[in-house]
Structure 1
């Protein structure tokens, strides 16, 4: 085979190869669905630590990452068992931090029915409130709590959802199950004032702004997909009959 024919075949193979979508390096979305232009950073005066499960990392619509991109002084740490995770243990052992975990259950203090004074009394005023949030499915969140001995010992807080989740592009166990970014927003709503954040400024609504833009864009993609002939749809309905 001569060299010209060799390069010609290489070119033909390259043209036939699958074309992978270019991803935004920040939000890990395909460039055409990047939501970074809607991100508005702000400081909630609370240090949020988003513990993202490896499964969520592979899902590009991961609202924990979205929240991290909006929140100044936040952390995004991937894992499942955080018992020996260096950054997590450093934050836990820092005497200037008061660490809690946002996790529902019988052991959790429900912030919703409390008065402002009662919420303030939960957290020492001379320390930085550090809230750990698990970003994953309910099953993986339970596994993380069970395996991570350092997180298992933390005081737990939760809230009662005020309205159904707006995460209409992913299936939730029920309408009261909030996405990670919605849960962080509601937490700031309830305890932001106790940490010196001006809740009435609605600065934390920047979380919902980018979240809503992402949901609207994904719903538009679904509408476009549903309007196409079956042969042109990206998703297959199921195996073809023999």
Structure 2
């Protein structure tokens, strides 16, 4: 899996991608600035053979269709909704990838930033949902969500103590 992260997210104390980066040994991270079009690194052509973009859209194919097929590199965008959309629109390469999305019954546990819709998830929650869909729930990806819960509770404690 490759996480294409907006540059502003990389140093964000409340970002959930860092938990995924520390937890998943095969997660690659590439950072992009504003309006910087993404192109795959030339020295990593094996990974970039036949990737798919996981991006929410009702017209995208369901990621469950990939279960039982040959593994394909997964690309996930990390940024605010506005920034992730801008990253997609500024990159003809990303736009050309087959796009998949997923449905989840789980509401977001990430209560720090306001989501545009109740079914929008944090980057980490999305990664966990993707991996559980493709690999099943026996891999204990939920532990990453427990770390996120601790981070959210801690951050909200700081916020509430400075804004009584």
Which TM bucket (shorter chain)?
0.7 to 0.9
Structure 1 residue 179, shift from structure 2 partner: 0.3
Is 2:37 the partner of 1:100?
A: no
Deviations 1:37-84 (A, max 9, x none): xxxxxxxxxxx2111102212422111222111111111111043434
In 1, the alpha carbon distance for the partners of 2:48 and 2:3 equals 19
In 2, the alpha carbon distance for the partners of 1:63 and 1:188 equals 16
Deviations 1:14-45 (A, max 9, x none): xxxxxxxxxxxxxxxxxxxxxxxxxxxxxxxx
State how 1:1-242 maps to structure 2 within 5 Å: 48-80=1-33, 81-84=36-39, 86=41, 89-91=42-44, 93-94=45-46, 97-111=49-63, 118-120=65-67, 123-124=69-70, 128-193=71-136, 199-200=137-138, 202-227=139-164
TM-score by length of 1: 0.60
Deviations 1:124-180 (A, max 9, x none): 2xxx43111110111111111111122211111111231221111111112211000
Query: Helix, strand or coil for the counterpart of 1:129?
Result: coil
| Higher Rg | 1
Structure 2 residue runs without a partner (length 5+)? none
| Contact map agreement 2:88 2:95 (CA 8 A) in 1 | yes
| Contact map agreement 2:53 2:97 (CA 8 A) in 1 | yes
In 1, the alpha carbon distance for the partners of 2:48 and 2:55 equals 22
In 2, the alpha carbon distance for the partners of 1:154 and 1:65 equals 25
Query: Aligned pair count?
Result: 162
| Contact map agreement 1:65 1:76 (CA 8 A) in 2 | no
Q: Which has the higher contact order (CA 8 A, sep 6+)?
A: 2
| Contact map agreement 2:32 2:38 (CA 8 A) in 1 | no
When residues 223 and 95 of structure 1 are mapped into structure 2, their CA distance, relative to the original with a 3 A threshold, is: closer
Structure 1 residue 90, shift from structure 2 partner: 4.5
When residues 219 and 143 of structure 1 are mapped into structure 2, their CA distance, relative to the original with a 3 A threshold, is: same
When residues 99 and 90 of structure 1 are mapped into structure 2, their CA distance, relative to the original with a 3 A threshold, is: farther
